[in-house]
């Protein structure tokens, strides 16, 4: 089935790890994922950062390097082109890799933060920092800056979640790409969209536990999504 986007006014793309997998972005939990090689308790939690911030920052520089070696694909660029045609296209992503932005996409809500930002939890300072190495590791207040991402044992940013929920509740087309969507609060997003009258489409390489919620399920790779739409 081909979806005519001209029938919709407010579109939300909800993307997960499967959106970046074809770009070669390393996974974290799956087969061969980072957490099979590294212990997250030593590299990806606040306790580890408080104990040895330099070790944690060094690890995240390795992550940044691996992502910078990856390239965006046709799926990323399809969404970017849609934003040039339609006024209200929002991306809500679970990814921290910034691949959407590298493809030129705007209006991206990052549920789990970004590898390309640092923040100081003491004074509130925050900075965008794009590159293989961090350009600034310490805040002017003297404290180490930490990556602005959701680590294990962190609480999600309630303002970001609220922003995402508001966009999803307002949309009339909700498209989930490359995510199982079983982790809360993201697991509730398809139902939020559907409850407010949105047409819901799941696009993934396989069906998921939430496939039954969607009006249409399309089995495909993230790079192939463009061929299922008329714009």
Is 112 catalytic? The answer is yes
Q: How far is CA 49 from CA 54, 58, 146, in A?
A: 8, 11, 8
| Residue 15: strand, helix, or coil | strand
Q: Which residues touch 58 (CB under 8 Å, ≥6 apart)?
A: none
| Residue 90: strand, helix, or coil | strand
DSSP letters of 124-159?
--EEE--SSS-S--B-TTSSBPEEEE--BTPPP-HH
Q: Rounded to the nearest 5°, which phi and psi values hold at 180? A: -75, -25
Q: How far is CA 77 from CA 23, 43, 98, 158, 216, in A?
A: 12, 32, 13, 29, 23
Unique residue bearing structure tokens 């939020």: 192
| Rounded CA separation 5/117 (Å) | 33
Q: Which residues touch 167 (CB under 8 Å, ≥6 apart)?
A: 10, 12, 90, 92, 109
Active-site residue list = 112
């Amino acid at each position: 089935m081909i979806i005519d986007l001209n029938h919709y006014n407010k579109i939300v793309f909800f993307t997960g790890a499967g959106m970046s997998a074809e770009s070669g972005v390393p996974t974290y939990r799956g087969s061969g994922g980072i957490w099979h090689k590294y212990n997250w308790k030593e590299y990806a939690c606040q306790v580890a950062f408080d104990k040895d911030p330099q070790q944690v920052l060094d690890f995240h520089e390795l992550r940044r390097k691996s992502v910078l070696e990856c390239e965006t694909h046709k799926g990323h660029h399809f969404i970017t082109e849609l934003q040039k045609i339609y006024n209200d296209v929002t991306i809500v992503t679970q990814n921290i890799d910034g691949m959407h932005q590298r493809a030129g996409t705007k209006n991206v809500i990052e549920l789990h933060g970004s590898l390309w930002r640092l923040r100081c939890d003491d004074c509130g300072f925050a900075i965008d920092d794009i590159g293989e190495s961090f350009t600034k590791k310490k805040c002017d207040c003297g404290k180490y800056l930490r990556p602005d991402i959701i680590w294990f044992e962190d609480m999600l940013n309630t303002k970001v979640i609220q922003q995402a929920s508001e966009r999803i509740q307002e949309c009339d087309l909700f498209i989930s790409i490359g995510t199982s969507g079983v982790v809360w609060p993201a697991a509730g997003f398809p139902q939020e969209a559907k409850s407010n009258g949105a047409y819901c489409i799941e696009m993934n390489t396989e069906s998921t536990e939430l496939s039954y919620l969607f009006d249409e399920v399309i089995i495909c790779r993230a790079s192939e999504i463009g061929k299922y739409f008329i714009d």
